[in-house]
Structure 1
Amino acid sequence: MAGSYHHSKDDLLRRLKKIEGQVKGIQRMVNEDKYCVDILIQIAAVRAAANRVGTILFEHHTRGCLVTALENNDEAAKDAMIEELVDVIAKFTKG
């Protein structure tokens, strides 16, 4: 199934590239034996940025894919979409 996020694809890719840069920075910090607290702060920033990307995708999924499935009035499809959403939220919030 195609993503409902196509209008935000450039923003998502920009955010992901920034996260990639942050992770590479953390690798450099570890390689250079930087202070643990400084590394932990950077890890927290990566987590926050990744969570934001996930939140954007959740929003697009809910406003696009899920709404479309619900509008089709197919009870089996509705149940499947709700189960999928509950499952992905559980996985996403698992820390």
Structure 2
Amino acid sequence: MVGDEDSIVLVLNRLRRAQGQLGGVIAMIEQGRDCKDVVTQLAAVSRALDRAGFKIVASGLRECLTETAQDGKEPMSEAELEKLFLALA
């Protein structure tokens, strides 16, 4: 994964939060909750996932700019980073 330990911790926290929210959405659907409530929670899950993805891309940009790579791997190219970023759009 791209990023320093702090970035990784932030991403994992966001993903765990999204996982919990998604569990809540599933429970809401199973309980027959109101459509508005379900969609509101589903949107929150989507935002949490997007933010985790953007954090990963931002870490990649930072790494690319400083030309440091983990484990001796080459930093991502500008084209690769653009492709990743656009995948989230």
Q: TM-score, normalised by structure 2?
A: 0.79
The answer for the alignment partner of 1:12 in structure 2 is 11
Number of residue-to-residue matches in the alignment: 84
Please report how far the alpha carbon of residue 57 of structure 1 lies from its aligned counterpart in structure 2 after TM superposition. Answer: 1.2
- Hey, what does 2:52 align to over in structure 1? 53
Tell whether 2:78 aligns with 1:82.
yes
d(CA) in 2 for partners of 1:87, 1:3: 15
Question: What is the deviation of 1:87?
Answer: 1.4
Q: Deviations over 1:52-91 (max 9, x none)?
A: 1112112111011x1144xxxxxxx89x702112211221
Root mean square deviation, CA, Å? 2.2
CA separation in 1, counterparts of 2:86 and 2:2? Answer: 20
* Structure 1 residues 34 and 26: CA distance shift in structure 2, 3 A: same
Q: Percent identity?
A: 25
Q: Which amino acid aligns with 1:23?
A: L
> Over residues 35-56 of structure 1, what are the superposed CA-to-partner deviations in whole Å (9 max), with x where a residue is unaligned?
0111000011111111111121
Q: Any idea what SS the aligned residue of 2:21 has?
A: helix
Which 4+ runs in 1 deviate beyond 6 A? none
Larger radius of gyration: 1
| Alpha-carbon distance, 1:92 to partner | 1.4
Structure 2: gaps of 5 or more residues:
68-73
Provide structure 1 residue ranges, at least 5 long, that are not aligned to the other structure. Answer: 70-76
Q: Where do residues 17-56 of structure 1 align in structure 2 (5 Å cutoff)?
A: 17-56=16-55
Distance in 2 of aligned mates of 1:17 and 1:4: 18
